[in-house]
Amino acid sequence: MVKVVILAGGRGSRLAEETEIRPKPMVEIGGMPIIWHILKLYSHFGFEEFLIALGYKGSVIKRFFMEYNSITRDFSIDIGTGTVDIDQRKAENWLIHLLDTGLEANTGGRVRALRKHLEEDTFMVTYGDGVANVDVKALLAFHRSQGKLATVTAVRPPARFGGLIFRGDLVAEFTEKPQAGEGWINGGFLVFEPGIFDYLDSDECSLEIDLLERLAREGQLAAYKHEGFWQCMDTIRDKELLQRLWQTNPPWKLWP
């Protein structure tokens, strides 16, 4: 099965209220870190091997997965013998590689650091700070049908402001910020062929500028258009929005 890279090493400075004590992928939505939500999305579509590119406060992410069984499952402890019996009915079938890619590396440098794990087959990459209801299995099939080195998932982000609906000269109601607000952007769900490593030559290289923009100029970047839900978590306001959605009907929760 195709491997999935989660970029989880950045400092998340725009979310400093949370990231002073934890890396951004560990900021919680509904009591679980956002990286868990991302893994749950991929595993819903059958992807179960993950490479997590660590950097800033990577030990916090390591600790979470080391303690994952006790956090997420019921278990019994025999105090006398120290035996722990974990409820296997709730087990995830995930194989997770937690890999240090440097404190200061850029996004392209983090992917480059994982080359030996990825250079034999198609792989996927996403950022550890956003959720969507992208059908990642369909995304992979689309990528393979295009025959290009890379595919980017294009999304239409929410507009910055809500809208007004009028009745004559009166305001009838306020509308939520529309999803299709400001044109198409890179939604962060990416598919790559190993040939992209020829474009990544240092820890400082950017996935977005040094790779994607160059591939676009060379006609090697396909676009999978996702019309559904997508939301990044750049600010505390974004985090609060996702928290409110989780408490009602989270559109990215495709798993049971």
Instruction: Read off the pLDDT of each residue in 239-251 and give the average, rounded to a whole number.
Output: 94
What percent of the chain clears pLDDT 90, i.e. is strictly above it? Answer: 73
Cα gap 192→190, rounded to integer Å: 7
Chain segment 165-190, per-residue pLDDT in tens: 677 776 666 665 555 555 789 999 99
Complete DSSP assignment for 142-194: HHHHHT-SEEEEEE-PPPSS-EEEEETTEEEEEEPPPSS-S--EEEEEEEE-G
What 3-state class would DSSP assign to 92?
coil
Instruction: Read off the pLDDT of each residue in 72-89 and give the average, rounded to a whole number.
Output: 83
Give the range among 121-135, 150-164, 216-230 with minimum mean pLDDT: 150-164
CB 46 within 8 A of CB 94: no
User: Does the pLDDT value for residue 88 go beyond 80?
Assistant: no
- Give me the half-sphere count of Cα atoms (radius 13 Å) on the Cβ side of residue 23: 25
State the pLDDT at residue 118.
Answer: 98
User: Does the pLDDT value for residue 128 go beyond 80?
Assistant: yes
- Give me the half-sphere count of Cα atoms (radius 13 Å) on the Cβ side of residue 249: 1
**In terms of Cα–Cα distance, which of 62, 68, 70, 128 is closest to 98?**
62
Work out the pLDDT band at 155, boundaries 50, 70, 90.
very high
Torsion of CA 39, 41, 47, 49, to 10 degrees: 0
Chain segment 21-38, per-residue pLDDT in tens: 899 999 999 999 999 999
Cα gap 74→70, rounded to integer Å: 7
Looking at residue 88, what DSSP letter applies? G
User: Does the pLDDT value for residue 210 go beyond 90?
Assistant: yes
What 3-state class would DSSP assign to 95?
strand
Instruction: Read off the pLDDT of each residue in 224-241 and give the average, rounded to a whole number.
Output: 94
Class of domain 3-153+179-247: alpha beta
Q: Which two tokens stand for residue 188?
A: 């962060």
Q: Report the sign of the C-alpha dihedral through residues 66, 71, 72, 76, in that order.
A: positive
Q: Which two tokens stand for residue 147?
A: 């025959």
State the pLDDT at residue 28.
Answer: 97
Work out the pLDDT band at 75, boundaries 50, 70, 90.
confident
Cα gap 180→196, rounded to integer Å: 30
Residue 23 burial (C-beta neighbours within 10 Å; 0-12, 13-18, 19+): buried
State the pLDDT at residue 171.
Answer: 61
Q: Which single residue is written with the structure tokens 């509904």?
A: 30
Cα gap 53→40, rounded to integer Å: 17
User: What is the reported pTM?
Assistant: 0.89
User: Does the pLDDT value for residue 158 go beyond 80?
Assistant: no
Segments making up each domain of the chain, as ranges: 3-153+179-247
Average pLDDT over the chain, rounded to whole?
Answer: 91
